[in-house]
Chain A
Amino acid sequence: MLATSRNFEANARAGLADDNLQRALGLARTGFPLRRRLATERLPEFEELREEGRAIKDHTLAHLDFYLELYESNVVASGGKVHWAPTPQEACAAVRQICRSVGAKTVTKGKSMVAEEVGLNEFLEANGITPIETDLGEYIIQLRHEPPSHIIAPAIHLVKEQVAETFRAEHHALDPARSLSEPRQMCDEARAMLRPRFLAADVGITGANFLVAETGSSIIVTNEGNGDLTQTLPRVHIVMTSIEKVVPTLEDAATLLRLLARSATGQEFSSYTTISTGPRRPGDLDGPEQYHVILLDNGRSALLGTEFRDMLRCIRCAACLNHCPVYAAVGGHAYGWVYPGPMGAVLTPSLIGIEEAGHLPNASTFCGRCESVCPVKIPLPKMMRHWRDREFAKRLNPPVYRSALSLWAWTARRPALYHAVAELAARTLGWAGRYRGRFRSLPLANGWTAVRDMPAPEGRSFHSLWAERRK
């Protein structure tokens, strides 16, 4: 996927001016946090579960090589194959090779952010293979030729009227008289279109929420059941996923699943949780003939041993997006690449570079709400600040900003001078604002006064007044 993270400011302005987006985000901003809160309040041990989830991931990351090799050996033992993909190009090439070996024309896909990360749909189309998204949200945005704007609710940027318009424009057999005003009606329409595609597909590609080392299994959760149809009906099942999804045991996966659904949608458990271990065995009633796992690295292993390692604990629940006031203001497309919101602000610079994605870790007030809801306690603001450290060290900030900061810091290290400057500023601004008590505009403060007034100081600095009273 081509990144536009460099244009974050323009993207954000477009998002703020988009009435449909603002309507859609308005619904999401209240819905997700409320449902998560109710779900966690119903589970008294939720805080302990978060600690346990963090410990499972930390342990796995500390022994990642061991668990990945164990996982591979168990995939092979159950008749499947693991394809190691250091880069997106190698991940795509592995999919192409598998598809060609079975003469695949169409591929159904369950939701996979790793597939977005490697640009799989564009790649398949360029190679004469038709990918069909089967998650309802992914299906809608595929019709609209848009990227997902959220990691678990890819079409959250749309209101239902836009979905109806899309179906009318793209479903050529759709009777114009048929009503599409209710979500249920749109769901039925999508289902009618997708059912024959499921049956016709040669290959099914899903992501994975977790990989289980002790059994060689992949686990997906969905609420639509589309993942099950995608992975059981075609002759070949490809799991497109990344190395940090592995956990040691099924028990560990169960612990993380309890955290995932509650953090993501406020459900106690997702509607469908499907564990796949290898291809169809003799005597099985259904299942694919071939089972492949593509394991993408794409810069993840390079985060081990750095200040960004904790990001690899992420289980992609989207609680940080759902609780982020910046995400709620601008929407996911503003972030300009696959992963938006706080987790994207940390992960995106790791994967595509701080030079491209520098805005993302800066566009945060460090309000800390993301960290407070993260099911595996990733210190997201701290890691955004680490990106700012690297940016500053590489001198990527605008020169004016660096100079202003240096001048301020130089003054702040000289208390006598600092107090004199503060008193002068307090007196000057206090005098200028003495009648109205506020400024509608102020030189050098346009960023502030363009959107709000600047309250006037009282007129004297505290330290000057204190010094006078102490005499």
Chain B
Amino acid sequence: MRVALFVTCLVDLFRPTVGFAAIRLLEQAGCTVEVPRAQTCCGQPAYNSGDRADAKAIALQLFDAFAGYDHIVVPSGSCAGMIRVHYPGLFADDPVNLPRAEDIASRTWELTSFLVDVCGMEEVTAHYDRAVTYHDACSGLRELGVKLQPRQLLGSVVGLRLEELSDAEVCCGFGGTFCIKYPEISDKMVTDKAADIAAAGAEAVLAGDLGCLLNIAGKLSRQGRRIEVRHVAEVLAGMTEEVPPIGAPR
């Protein structure tokens, strides 16, 4: 299978390791992976701010960048959901481009869901000796049905013990521009999330979306809690030795 990786703007800027982890996992699943250079962002900041013209322009750019690949894989439920669920709606009034939107939507997957649901991956070769908890990022969970896939793969990681989080399906308070527009409300939400993570007795918290992870890591470190924060792909690809946790000193 010829697969294109959509890196996402946050992984590109903050956490390139997640991109390399995704490539390693996809190659282990037997895919040929390419990273089209003409990609930037999925357009969600514009789309969620009511700026549909810019969102469409950015989406059209992705149509071209990802033309011809069997699948497009994204290490983020939020960005994958934007393409898979929202692009067809964005072009609903544009009969010329709607088929292209539907086409890219049908080929786009969140990483863990692609590995399990499309590639049939059942286990990984990785080691992570921690009590771990998992936060279900909202878009992946509710737009794409990502829930069991990461847990199934994490179950094969040697040394990893999964402690479920109470309210794992409740938003962490990131919400893109929300966390900057309404910082006090976002703070309350991420403070509750941090308390739940601590109460789960976890040494590490994982999720499949870097936005949530930056938010959670930022709050945990502000509170002085020593709990590791990592993208699930880093753990599944066995790359935890290569880079410190998110927000941790080198």
| Nearest-Cβ distance from residue B111 to partner chain A, whole angstroms | 14
Does A47 belong to the interface (CB within 8 Å)? no
Docked complex Cα distance between A445 and B214 (Å): 13
A325 touches B35 (CB 8 A): no
B35 touches A466 (CB 8 A): yes
Q: A365-B138, A447-B181 are in contact. Are A462 and B11 (CB under 8 A)?
A: yes
Interface stretch, picked from B117-125, B150-158, B185-193, is B185-193
A412 touches B58 (CB 8 A): yes
Q: A329-B188, A448-B180 are in contact. Are A462 and B19 (CB under 8 A)?
A: yes
B175 touches A366 (CB 8 A): yes
Docked complex Cα distance between A367 and B15 (Å): 23
Binary flags per residue of A353-386, CB closer than 8 Å to B gives 1, else 0: 0000000001111111101100000000010010
| Nearest-Cβ distance from residue B215 to partner chain A, whole angstroms | 7
A325 touches B247 (CB 8 A): no
B61 touches A363 (CB 8 A): no
Q: A325-B173, A447-B181 are in contact. Are A455 and B214 (CB under 8 A)?
A: yes
Interchain Cβ contacts within 8 Å, total number: 208
User: In the complex, which residues of chain A have a beta carbon less than 8 angstroms from the beta carbon of B178?
Assistant: 362-366
B214 touches A454 (CB 8 A): yes
User: In the complex, which residues of chain A have a beta carbon less than 8 angstroms from the beta carbon of B50?
Assistant: 385, 387-393, 397
Binary flags per residue of A326-341, CB closer than 8 Å to B gives 1, else 0: 1001100000000000
B38 touches A397 (CB 8 A): no
Docked complex Cα distance between A325 and B192 (Å): 10
User: In the complex, which residues of chain B have a beta carbon less than 8 angstroms from the beta carbon of A452?
Assistant: 187, 190, 215, 218-219, 221-222
User: In the complex, which residues of chain B have a beta carbon less than 8 angstroms from the beta carbon of A438?
Assistant: 217-218, 221, 247-248
**A330, A453, A455 pick with most chain B CB within 10 angstroms:** A455
Q: Which of B45, B170, B184, B221 is A325 in contact with, Cβ under 8 Å? A: B170
User: In the complex, which residues of chain A have a beta carbon less than 8 angstroms from the beta carbon of B183?
Assistant: 447-448, 450-451
List which B208-250 residues lie within 8 A (CB) of chain A: 214-215, 217-219, 221-222, 243-244, 246-250
Does A12 belong to the interface (CB within 8 Å)? yes
| Nearest-Cβ distance from residue A242 to partner chain B, whole angstroms | 28
Does B70 belong to the interface (CB within 8 Å)? no
| Nearest-Cβ distance from residue B196 to partner chain A, whole angstroms | 12
Does A422 belong to the interface (CB within 8 Å)? yes
User: In the complex, which residues of chain A have a beta carbon less than 8 angstroms from the beta carbon of B168?
Assistant: none
Does A437 belong to the interface (CB within 8 Å)? yes
Docked complex Cα distance between A401 and B174 (Å): 18
Q: What number of B residues sit within 8 Å (CB to CB) of A?
A: 70
Does B43 belong to the interface (CB within 8 Å)? yes
Does A425 belong to the interface (CB within 8 Å)? yes
Docked complex Cα distance between A411 and B218 (Å): 27
B17 touches A458 (CB 8 A): yes
A415 touches B37 (CB 8 A): yes
Does B160 belong to the interface (CB within 8 Å)? no
B218 touches A454 (CB 8 A): yes
User: In the complex, which residues of chain A have a beta carbon less than 8 angstroms from the beta carbon of B244?
Assistant: 437
Does B129 belong to the interface (CB within 8 Å)? no
User: In the complex, which residues of chain A have a beta carbon less than 8 angstroms from the beta carbon of B29?
Assistant: none
Across the two chains, which residue of chain B brings its CB closest to A384?
B48
Docked complex Cα distance between A455 and B182 (Å): 20
A436 touches B249 (CB 8 A): yes
A409 touches B51 (CB 8 A): yes
Docked complex Cα distance between A448 and B184 (Å): 10
Does B46 belong to the interface (CB within 8 Å)? yes
A368 touches B58 (CB 8 A): no
Does B9 belong to the interface (CB within 8 Å)? yes
Does A405 belong to the interface (CB within 8 Å)? yes
Does A463 belong to the interface (CB within 8 Å)? yes
List which B35-57 residues lie within 8 A (CB) of chain A: 35, 37-41, 43, 45-52, 54, 57
A409 touches B58 (CB 8 A): yes
Q: Which of A368, A409, A426, A467 is B139 in contact with, Cβ under 8 Å? A: A368
Docked complex Cα distance between A314 and B167 (Å): 26
User: In the complex, which residues of chain A have a beta carbon less than 8 angstroms from the beta carbon of B171?
Assistant: 325, 365, 367, 369
Q: Which of B45, B57, B176 is A408 in contact with, Cβ under 8 Å? A: B45
B185 touches A329 (CB 8 A): yes
Binary flags per residue of B7-48, CB closer than 8 Å to A gives 1, else 0: 101011111110110000000000000010111110101111
B247 touches A462 (CB 8 A): no
Residues of A within 8 A of B (CB): 9, 12-13, 16, 325-326, 329-330, 362-369, 371-372, 382, 385, 387-393, 397, 401, 405-406, 408-409, 411-413, 415, 418-419, 422, 425-426, 434-438, 440, 445, 447-448, 450-458, 460-463, 465-467
Q: Given contacts A367-B171, A453-B247, could you give 19 more A-B pairs where the C-beta distance is less than 8 Å?
A: A329-B189, A362-B181, A363-B181, A365-B178, A368-B142, A385-B47, A390-B50, A412-B54, A415-B65, A435-B250, A436-B249, A437-B244, A438-B247, A447-B180, A453-B217, A457-B14, A462-B19, A462-B20, A466-B35
